Structure 1
Amino acid sequence: MAENSTDQFFKSNVLGHPSGLFVLFFTEMWERFSYYGMRALLIMFFTAKVFNGGWEWPESWAYAIFGTYVSLVYLSTLLGGYFADKIIGFRYAVLVGALLMTLGHGCMAIETPFFIYTGLTLLVFGSGFFKPNMTSIISEMYKDRPEKKDGAYTIFYMGVNSGAFVGILLCGYLGEQIGWSWGFGVAGIFMLFGLIQFWLAQNIFGNIGLKPEKGNEEKVVLKEGEKLNPFTRFEMALIIISSTLGLSWILNDPISKISEGAYNLFGFKIFGFDGQNVAILTALLIFVILLIIRIPKYAKTTRDRMLAVVFFCFVTIFFWAIFEQSPGSLTIFARDYTDRILEGNSAIIFKIVDVLLTVVPLGVITWVLFKLFKKTFAKYSWSNIVLAFSFLVIWAIAIFRLNDKLSGDVAEIDASWFGTLNSLFIITLAPLFSKWWEGKYNPNANMKYAIGMVLLGLGMACVAIGSSSIEPGAKTASVSMIWLVLVYFFHTMGELCISPVSLSYVSKLVPGRMIAMMFGIYYLAIAIGMKLAGMFGEASTGIAKEHGISYFFWILTGLSLGLAVLSVIMYPMVKKLMHGVR
């Protein structure tokens, strides 16, 4: 048997998959726990009153730094992926990323400006090293077992959403009810557990993800009629100028606002236009020029399929810009405008639901943990001991939270709690959508995007209707929480139509030698969407004062439905560009 054959990984299996998959499952779970747990608190911490432990920033400042942070998280994956592929390997990239994120969360727990900004910087680079390389290890592990890969990614995806669910639930509670430092700090503690567990069990991956050997790169195989199109010096110069302007703008945006203009790289005007606007528009124009120069150089089929990817990336930008209102304007809406106090029978029902939502997922994950123990304890006992201890701590925090929430006659729902609904609905609905995509009524790519944007619009329409009675400029209100539940229900279904299938279409539409470049463009689209999410959040403050918060949500509804219509109209053209790829 070849040393790096995938058969060796299947000798020790859990639920029909290699034990190594579940080491990745729990490592990714703790990373998502820390990322989503911290992210759920970020804007609330910045905007909370000083006597509540916050910084009492204007919401526009908080949205600006949030948009920059989540945007840079996705941009940094390009850097982390490059280092892993060319220099340090997937495995050490994961370890470096986990260490940087542990330090980042630790810094944020100190809550001074220096440590908060340092923490966010470390988290950006940590995510860049960690995020793209976990899935790369899975891909290598299943290289000779492609028929098992879909099941592997499904299990891994459950780990992602389990971590997000538990992270928002527990970090959100600790941050809002005990103290912000507790929420930020606990996120870092569990990232540390994930790091140690992965480090102690890394030999389970054999030779996968080790430092790449020089001269061992795969040779590019070209099909008949294809040719390599290396970037010219002029094209590289365009990339450098566009990237520099774009990054400068992303960083300058929150810095100029928070310093109230004291530090502003683009604090000048060109022909009467604001320097900051000129910088980002120039960066986007140069990028479009680059695409116009590059795409015609490829063979017709490749060129057409690249244009199809560009269209999907365009829709993706606005999908994430609207979807990512969840930790931003929707969380602020939950805090300031939603009736989160339940009494009588409503309180009793919610408490029962809350117990089930806490205990059942943790119980299932603990059962998976025991399954892993049976297979790997003899060989990787210390890794398992660290994992077991981390779950004891999780159960202790969960029981402490339930004990607090179950006391008294009323039920107070944390503003961050609504964010858990996305993960809960994904775990519940993902199998149904998977069956849909595998059946004979599987929609084409454009229709999936159209359905996703319609569902996104329906979600925003729900909260727009629910907030219609809120007067312009109102600081507080008591809207029924059912509207927020509906938002997350529709938005999750929209995500299931777009997010999982997007990467699939990128990989199907371009040749293997170009996947890295097109994934780069796809992640750039997400990064732009994330920054737009922060900008939309900033706009919500002014719109709410002048026209009411409902008007803001109606704008996002209209934008979503408009892009859905565009996807339908573009179907004949995009179908032709895809040349038979479904």
Structure 2
Amino acid sequence: MDTSLTAPSAPAGTRTTGPGGRRGFGTLLAVDLWERFSFFGMAAILVLYLTAPRARGGMDMAPQSAAAVFAAYMSLSFMAGLPGGWLADRVLGARRAVLLGGSLIGCGHLVLAAPWAGTLYPGLLLVVAGTGLVKPAMAAMVAEISGAGPGRREAAFSLFYVCIQVSALVAPVVTGLLAERIAWHLGFAAAAAGMLAGLLQFTLGMRAFGDVGVRPPRPVDRAELRAVLRRVCVVAAAAGAVTVPPAVLGVLPVNAVLAVLGLATVGLPFAYLRALRRLPADGHLTGAAQDVRDEPGRRGGTAPGKTGAAAGDGGPTDPGPRARLGAFTAMMAASAAFWMIFAQGGSALSLFADRHTDRDLFGFEVPASWFQSLHPLFVLLVAPFLARLRAGAWQRVGTPAKFAGALAAAGTSFVLMAVAARLAEDGPVGPSWLVLVYLLYSCGEIALAPAGLALAAAVAPPGSTSRFLAVNGLFGAVGVVIGGQLYRLTAVLPLSVYFALVGVVVLTVAAAVTLGAGRLSRRLAVD
């Protein structure tokens, strides 16, 4: 893995100062460590809190409803990245977006930590709004600091992705112990403390960024901003008119709201990318994709100074922006199947750990939330082996092949869960089933997540990196919300049948990506 971040090549108009690349990357890493601590800490305990009986301080929800709420929270966090990325690109700049978003996340966790009725949904909405600002802005700053070229960019995202797993490993242990053994709200308070520490780290380290993230790359003009504000006010007023009166009267149909949200989540990324297809079909590469094609020795690349078809003028080696966008859409849709399984680690697998797993360890009952630490633990253990491969064979593996491998691992994990659920019908099963399942989809995440981020950055037009990274997150939201709604099938299907059904569907998607890998690679023209 190429982890050199010293003095990277900066985009035009961006200045990096001295060793700012490395120091700036370190500051971003520290901030994301704390932000991920708050995120994973709350994710580990949210479903358990929602399903815990009121006598234990919980919400006493049915498992299916709790899984749907968790999925809605996760999908909204992804969806919020689209307006958050727009604000970072056009209004705030990445740096102010991180500061504002981190403040909202911290406030949201503090609201959840308050031991009062009615704090659940306001607190979750604050966390969602903050996450939508922080994640695309942070990713854009990482992409900018890492420099041009897919190898450098994917290496930076890979290192970033692996290092933050330290906080993902520790967070469920800390918040889970506080929440399950003392008080649920104390677990949320620990998540708030983590985010506030991240904000402090970011504020103290801002000088390391040079000019990166100070200003929006494509500032919005006042007329466009006024038009956007008018549309936002109309949508907000309509949503408020529909939801606020029933909520005040206590008759708001939560399941209906979740269903509408699910439909909007599934449709939004496709509608957004369809709008992008209206870009002029001039056949020219833009943004990071040009960096890829200009690298000598890369498939489809040319030596400096070459012109013509091989240089991206719409010839046979250049599929054109619309074809590339279509292939990108197909890849993102396939990734949604992976995230459909991945996101159920905090709901379906967490409930399985709580209700169907023998958690006794030498007389100590392991908190169910601690199983959430298995995923980051495996990322940390497996990533060094993958890093060695990145320097050799893995670097020659195309993005579609990486996606297909990740999908195959995720699908297999749920087939194994089907076996475990069948055995659990006769009594609690050993923890080795969950250990193996987390290992499989952790390997899948290491393969898919950095490749997906790098792909989104590679196809993004200049000044739109944050929004294309947000599109990557939107398809994650599609998977999350579909998984949350599918879990409702467990009310009528045996748990083993549910796991088997979802696993087979994802394996089918993996097979489809494998069969179309060659065509996808030619259309993407970034491998």
Task: Normalising by structure 1, report the TM-score.
Answer: 0.71
Counterpart residue number, 1:221: none
Counterpart residue number, 2:502: 556
Task: Please tell me whether the aligned partners of residues 470 and 550 of structure 1 are also in contact (alpha carbons under 8 angstroms).
Answer: no
Aligned-partner SS, 2:118: helix
Matched, 1:422 2:371: no
CA 1:499 to 1:314, structure 2 compared with 1: closer, same or farther past 3 Å?
Answer: same
Q: 1:439 aligns with which of 392, 395, 404?
A: 392
User: Matches of residues 35-54 of structure 1 in structure 2 within 5 Å?
Assistant: 35-54=39-58
Q: 1:465 aligns with which of 410, 415, 419?
A: 419
Counterpart residue number, 1:310: 329
Report Cα offsets for 1:242-275 as digits up to 9, x if no partner: x979x979x98xx99x9999324997xxxxxx99
Mapped to 2, the partners of 1:216 and 1:295 lie a distance apart of: 20
Counterpart residue number, 1:33: 37
Counterpart residue number, 1:534: 484
Q: CA deviation at 1:85?
A: 2.2
Aligned-partner SS, 1:56: coil
**Count of residues paired in the alignment:** 470
Q: CA deviation at 1:25?
A: 2.0
Counterpart residue number, 2:252: 263
User: Matches of residues 480-495 of structure 1 in structure 2 within 5 Å?
Assistant: 480-495=430-445
Instruction: Report the residue type matching 1:18 in the other structure.
Output: R
Q: CA deviation at 1:482?
A: 0.2
Instruction: Report the residue type matching 2:355 in the other structure.
Output: D
Task: Please tell me whether the aligned partners of residues 67 and 484 of structure 2 are also in contact (alpha carbons under 8 angstroms).
Answer: yes
Mapped to 2, the partners of 1:439 and 1:559 lie a distance apart of: 32
Mapped to 1, the partners of 2:179 and 2:33 lie a distance apart of: 20
User: Matches of residues 175-214 of structure 1 in structure 2 within 5 Å?
Assistant: 175-212=179-216
Instruction: Report the residue type matching 1:486 in the other structure.
Output: L
Q: CA deviation at 1:146?
A: 9.4
Extract unaligned runs of 5+ from structure 2.
1-6, 284-318
User: Matches of residues 380-391 of structure 1 in structure 2 within 5 Å?
Assistant: none
Q: CA deviation at 1:447?
A: 2.2
Counterpart residue number, 2:526: 581
Counterpart residue number, 1:60: 64
Mapped to 2, the partners of 1:286 and 1:91 lie a distance apart of: 25
Task: Please tell me whether the aligned partners of residues 26 and 159 of structure 1 are also in contact (alpha carbons under 8 angstroms).
Answer: no
Q: CA deviation at 1:38?
A: 0.7
Counterpart residue number, 2:516: 570
Mapped to 2, the partners of 1:456 and 1:520 lie a distance apart of: 23
Q: 1:448 aligns with which of 402, 406, 412?
A: 402
Counterpart residue number, 1:506: 456
Counterpart residue number, 1:326: 345
Mapped to 1, the partners of 2:206 and 2:268 lie a distance apart of: 45
Task: Please tell me whether the aligned partners of residues 306 and 510 of structure 1 are also in contact (alpha carbons under 8 angstroms).
Answer: no
User: Matches of residues 243-282 of structure 1 in structure 2 within 5 Å?
Assistant: 262-264=251-253, 280=263
Task: Please tell me whether the aligned partners of residues 308 and 577 of structure 1 are also in contact (alpha carbons under 8 angstroms).
Answer: yes
CA 1:566 to 1:158, structure 2 compared with 1: closer, same or farther past 3 Å?
Answer: closer
User: Matches of residues 94-133 of structure 1 in structure 2 within 5 Å?
Assistant: 94-133=98-137
CA 1:296 to 1:488, structure 2 compared with 1: closer, same or farther past 3 Å?
Answer: same
Aligned-partner SS, 1:262: coil
- Aligned Cα root-mean-square deviation (Å): 3.9
Mapped to 2, the partners of 1:275 and 1:51 lie a distance apart of: 27
Task: Please tell me whether the aligned partners of residues 315 and 563 of structure 1 are also in contact (alpha carbons under 8 angstroms).
Answer: yes
Task: Please tell me whether the aligned partners of residues 360 and 366 of structure 2 are also in contact (alpha carbons under 8 angstroms).
Answer: yes
Task: Please tell me whether the aligned partners of residues 329 and 540 of structure 1 are also in contact (alpha carbons under 8 angstroms).
Answer: no
Task: Please tell me whether the aligned partners of residues 76 and 125 of structure 1 are also in contact (alpha carbons under 8 angstroms).
Answer: yes
Task: Please tell me whether the aligned partners of residues 157 and 453 of structure 2 are also in contact (alpha carbons under 8 angstroms).
Answer: no
Q: CA deviation at 1:411?
A: 2.8
CA 1:287 to 1:507, structure 2 compared with 1: closer, same or farther past 3 Å?
Answer: closer
Q: CA deviation at 1:338?
A: 0.2
User: Matches of residues 380-419 of structure 1 in structure 2 within 5 Å?
Assistant: 410-419=363-372
Instruction: Report the residue type matching 1:491 in the other structure.
Output: Y
Counterpart residue number, 1:359: none
Mapped to 2, the partners of 1:303 and 1:122 lie a distance apart of: 36
Q: Select the structure of larger CA radius of gyration.
A: 1
* More off after superposition, 101-110 vs 150-159: 150-159
Mapped to 1, the partners of 2:201 and 2:268 lie a distance apart of: 46
Mapped to 2, the partners of 1:72 and 1:286 lie a distance apart of: 13
CA 1:285 to 1:67, structure 2 compared with 1: closer, same or farther past 3 Å?
Answer: closer
Q: 1:85 aligns with which of 70, 81, 89?
A: 89
Task: Normalising by structure 2, report the TM-score.
Answer: 0.78
Mapped to 1, the partners of 2:269 and 2:148 lie a distance apart of: 42
Instruction: Report the residue type matching 1:535 in the other structure.
Output: Q
Report Cα offsets for 1:47-87 as digits up to 9, x if no partner: 00111111111122212221111111111112222222222
CA 1:136 to 1:449, structure 2 compared with 1: closer, same or farther past 3 Å?
Answer: closer
Q: CA deviation at 1:214?
A: 8.5
Mapped to 2, the partners of 1:117 and 1:275 lie a distance apart of: 13
Mapped to 2, the partners of 1:194 and 1:558 lie a distance apart of: 40
Report Cα offsets for 1:98-141 as digits up to 9, x if no partner: 11111111110114342221111110111112112223333444
Aligned-partner SS, 1:339: coil
Q: CA deviation at 1:24?
A: 2.1
CA 1:291 to 1:146, structure 2 compared with 1: closer, same or farther past 3 Å?
Answer: closer
Report Cα offsets for 1:496-534 as digits up to 9, x if no partner: 221111122233345546655544433321121121121
Q: CA deviation at 1:277?
A: 7.2
Q: CA deviation at 1:209?
A: 2.2
Aligned-partner SS, 1:478: coil
Mapped to 1, the partners of 2:269 and 2:147 lie a distance apart of: 38
User: Matches of residues 227-242 of structure 1 in structure 2 within 5 Å?
Assistant: none
